[in-house]
């Protein structure tokens, strides 16, 4: 171990714990351990692997409060969110526990024999996680990877290692064999990069910034390593005049300020039809002022602090456009910031184009359906978005036209563990969750068996 990182509680700047950061040799050792464990894990009977995943899910559920409290302290997540996040890990494990017995191949008609396909595991899968949702994003990678018969090396983000380390311990407690699910804490440039360069890691699941993701994709090219990328976003919340404006406005703060805006799905660009602008802004101001930013362990908290001083400074650098109004936030120790609503002068504004990853939203008007689609698509990203209208034909037309992986109509909900999640354009590559995710953790092997001998 070469270095130590001090975990800080972002709500009060108190030291929580010191963790050792792995060096290159420790990373290589854990990859070798996972590669060795793969030899036996891939041979475990499907029903036994399913049982182990269900046992893991149960142990996570049994520790949901402990995990949630750890996340509140480490990441500043509200306790309500953190409990959902722990439950999400258990739900994703339960969902994919049904997979080992259902990894069907095909039988394809051929002359003089039988042709069958198998879905074979890849080997060691490297999962690299960002700091904004440490538990769910880890689970979206490791649960389908393990279900498909792979072993996993998982690296949490430097800021937020604590729940990942605990999940590693809980896996062992549930009976997952040693070496199958490995959590290793360290720097992206050392541990994460070694996942990319080590030939025994056969696939990378990366969630994080578009910039780092591009480097990982380039690094994987060297070994034609499989890669799934979940990257940044700058999603639009499109509000038509014929929608329930009160409802859209009441829901809009949660759609962007949840997790202090540190959410790749944050609807950080609100597009309102011109004729509804005044009505929307008045209801939106009421909702933003009511949005509770407070000590995250309180059950009433809707938003906690940002993750770090660095993130707070980076977010505040975007506050150079006219401010429509703000909510409130605690003062004193901690990386607190009030939810802020900007009215950018035009679509060239930095705050309109870049992912801010903080509690800042920009509002702009549009003229008609075509203008709404044009403005929604005028971004390099395409992760999520919302469409508010009471005209179902328009809802479908706009949903089909917006270049984004996860859209919701008259709702801001993007994530369900049983439906696919992922981005268009520079928001990513591949899909996580849902039934299709397993395809990216398996190779299709085709076998022809001659019957004419």
* Residue 132 or 326 having the CB closest to ligand NAD: 132
DSSP label at residue 22 = P
* Residue 205 or 276 having the CB closest to ligand NAD: 205
Query: SS3 of 360, please?
Result: strand
Q: Which of 158, 273, 294, 302 binds ligand NAD (CB under 6 A)?
A: 158
Query: SS3 of 54, please?
Result: helix
Q: What value, to the nearest 5°, has the Cα angle with vertex 402 and ends 397 and 403? A: 140
What is the footprint of ligand NAD within residues 372-431 (CB under 6 A)?
A: 383, 423, 427-428
Q: Are strands 406-409 and 201-207 parallel, antiparallel or unpaired?
A: unpaired
d(CA 425, CA 410): 24
Query: SS3 of 227, please?
Result: strand
Q: What are phi and psi of 75, to 5 degrees?
A: -115, -10
Q: Is 207 in the site for ligand NAD (CB under 6 A)?
A: yes
Q: Which of 4, 109, 189, 331 binds ligand NAD (CB under 6 A)?
A: 189
Q: Which of 50, 171, 201, 216 binds ligand NAD (CB under 6 A)?
A: 216
With the CA atoms of 339, 340, 341 and 344 taken in that order, what torsion angle do they form, in degrees rounded to the nearest 10? -150
The total number of residues written for the chain in this structure: 453
Q: Is 341 in the site for ligand NAD (CB under 6 A)?
A: no
What's the closest the beta carbon of residue 212 comes to ligand NAD, in angstroms?
3
Q: What are phi and psi of 34, to 5 degrees?
A: -65, -35
* Residue 5 or 277 having the CB closest to ligand NAD: 5
Site string for ligand NAD, 263-292 (x = CB under 6 A): -x----------------------------
Q: Which of 76, 123, 168, 188 binds ligand NAD (CB under 6 A)?
A: 188
Set 230, 294, 321, 355: catalytic member: 230
Query: Which residue is listed with tokens 């051929």?
Result: 110
Q: Which of 209, 328, 347, 419 binds ligand NAD (CB under 6 A)?
A: 209
Helix (H) or strand (E) holding 118: strand 113-121
Q: Is 205 in the site for ligand NAD (CB under 6 A)?
A: no
What is the footprint of ligand NAD within residues 118-147 (CB under 6 A)?
A: 128-133, 137
* Residue 196 or 337 having the CB closest to ligand NAD: 196
Q: Which of 46, 80, 177, 215 binds ligand NAD (CB under 6 A)?
A: 215
What's the closest the beta carbon of residue 233 comes to ligand NAD, in angstroms?
6
What's the closest the beta carbon of residue 272 comes to ligand NAD, in angstroms?
24
What's the closest the beta carbon of residue 250 comes to ligand NAD, in angstroms?
25
| Among 434, 407, 442, CA closest to 140 | 434
What's the closest the beta carbon of residue 209 comes to ligand NAD, in angstroms?
3
Q: Which of 121, 139, 144, 208 binds ligand NAD (CB under 6 A)?
A: 208
d(CA 213, CA 205): 10
Total residues in contact with ligand NAD, by rule CB under 6 A: 32
What single string gives the DSSP state of each residue in 252-285? HHHHHHGGGG--TT---EEEEEGGGHHHHHHHHH
Q: What is the largest CA-CA distance in the chain?
A: 82
Q: State both tokens at 282.
A: 């008045």
d(CA 329, CA 331): 7
* Residue 134 or 344 having the CB closest to ligand NAD: 134
* Residue 58 or 316 having the CB closest to ligand NAD: 316
DSSP label at residue 425 = G
Q: Which of 78, 91, 163, 193 binds ligand NAD (CB under 6 A)?
A: 193
d(CA 289, CA 245): 17
Q: Are 205 and 125 in contact (CB under 8 A)?
A: yes
Instruction: Collect all residues with Cβ–Cβ distance below 8 Å to 222 and sequence separation of at least 6.
Output: 197
Is 230 catalytic? The answer is yes
What's the closest the beta carbon of residue 166 comes to ligand NAD, in angstroms?
17
Q: Is 152 in the site for ligand NAD (CB under 6 A)?
A: no
d(CA 450, CA 441): 29
* Residue 67 or 229 having the CB closest to ligand NAD: 229
Q: Is 232 in the site for ligand NAD (CB under 6 A)?
A: yes
What's the closest the beta carbon of residue 188 comes to ligand NAD, in angstroms?
2
d(CA 27, CA 190): 8
* Residue 357 or 388 having the CB closest to ligand NAD: 357
Q: How far is CA 425 from CA 115, 267, 283, 414, 419, in A?
A: 37, 17, 33, 17, 20
Q: Are strands 113-121 and 107-108 parallel, antiparallel or unpaired?
A: antiparallel
Which of the stretches 13-21, 79-87, 189-197, 253-261 binds ligand NAD when contact is defined by CB under 6 A? Answer: 189-197
Binding site for ligand NAD (CB under 6 A): 128-133, 137, 155, 157-158, 188-189, 192-193, 196, 207-209, 212, 215-216, 230-233, 264, 355, 357, 383, 423, 427-428
Q: What are the catalytic residues?
A: 230
């Amino acid at each position: 171990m070469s270095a130590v990182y001090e975990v800080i509680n972002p709500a009060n700047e108190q030291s929580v714990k010191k963790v050792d950061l792995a060096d290159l040799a420790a990373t290589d050792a854990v990859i070798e351990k996972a590669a060795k464990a793969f030899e036996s894990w891939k041979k475990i009977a499907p029903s036994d692997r399913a049982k182990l995943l269900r046992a893991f899910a149960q142990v996570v559920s049994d520790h949901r409060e402990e995990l949630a409290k750890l996340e509140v302290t480490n990441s500043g997540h509200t306790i309500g969110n953190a409990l959902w996040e722990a439950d999400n890990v258990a739900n994703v494990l339960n969902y994919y526990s049904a997979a080992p017995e259902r990894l069907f191949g095909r039988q394809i008609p051929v002359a003089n024999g039988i042709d069958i396909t198998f879905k074979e595991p890849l080997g060691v899968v490297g999962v690299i996680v960002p700091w904004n949702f440490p538990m769910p994003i880890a689970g979206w990678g490791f649960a389908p990877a393990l279900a498909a018969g792979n072993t996993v090396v998982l690296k949490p983000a430097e800021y937020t290692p604590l729940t990942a380390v605990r999940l590693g311990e809980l896996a062992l407690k549930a009976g997952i064999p040693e070496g199958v699910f490995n959590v290793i804490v360290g720097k992206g440039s050392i541990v994460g990069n070694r996942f990319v360069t080590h030939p025994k890691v056969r696939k990378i699941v990366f969630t994080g910034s578009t910039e780092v993701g591009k480097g990982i994709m380039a690094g994987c090219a060297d070994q034609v390593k499989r890669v799934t990328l979940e990257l940044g976003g700058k999603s639009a919340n499109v509000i038509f005049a014929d929608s329930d404006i009160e409802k859209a406005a009441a829901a809009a703060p949660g759609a962007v300020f949840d997790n202090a805006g540190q959410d790749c799905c944050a609807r950080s660009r609100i597009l309102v039809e011109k004729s509804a602008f005044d009505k929307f802004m008045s209801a939106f101001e009421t909702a933003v002022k009511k949005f509770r930013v407070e000590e995250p362990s309180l059950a009433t908290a809707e938003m906690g602090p940002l993750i770090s001083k660095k993130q707070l400074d980076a977010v505040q650098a975007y506050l150079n456009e006219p401010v429509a109004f703000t909510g409130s936030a605690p003062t004193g120790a901690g990386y607190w910031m009030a939810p802020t609503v900007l009215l950018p002068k035009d679509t060239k504004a930095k705050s309109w184009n870049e992912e801010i990853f903080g509690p800042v939203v920009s509002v702009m008007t549009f003229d008609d359906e075509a203008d709404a689609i044009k403005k929604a698509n005028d971004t390099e990203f395409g992760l999520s978005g919302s469409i508010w209208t009471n005209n179902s034909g328009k809802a479908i037309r706009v949903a089909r036209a917006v270049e984004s992986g996860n859209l919701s109509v008259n709702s801001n909900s993007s994530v369900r563990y049983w439906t696919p999640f992922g981005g268009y354009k520079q928001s990513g590559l591949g899909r996580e969750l849902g039934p299709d995710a397993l395809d990216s953790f398996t190779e299709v092997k085709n076998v022809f068996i001659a019957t004419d001998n």
